[in-house]
Amino acid sequence: MGMTKHQFMTYCNIYWNRFKRHIKIGDWVEALIHTITLGYGERIALGIAKLFGYHKCYCCERKQWLNRLTNPMYDGKCDQIDIGWYPTYD
């Protein structure tokens, strides 16, 4: 007793959507940047941001935006994260 084509496609679609929620593009990009810059990616980004007049590099926001491409319910809670080694100008 086998599956019909419709049952098989439904089965594949359910598991693809579950798998897609676990793929986080932002995490992959962050790991790549971390590897290429030997762990100094966020400090380099902050230095460049300060050259352009920003007080933060928005790395977490970028990561959250990329992760939401595959998982719209992802919440990285960027507003609650404080690295502590850069000054804030409030």
Give the tens place of pLDDT for each residue, 46-80: 999 999 999 989 998 898 898 888 888 888 777 66
pLDDT at residue 45 is higher than 90: yes
**Average pLDDT across the chain, whole number:** 81
Nearest partner of 34 among 24, 42, 25, 45, judged by Cα: 42
Q: What is the per-residue pLDDT for 38?
A: 93
Burial 8-43 (b: 16+ CB within 10 A, else e): eeeeeeeeeeeeeeeebebeebbeebeeeeeeebbe
* Per-residue pLDDT at 17: 75
* pTM of structure: 0.64
Q: What φ, ψ does residue 37 adopt, rounded to 5°?
A: -95, 10
Whether residue 90 has pLDDT greater than 70: no
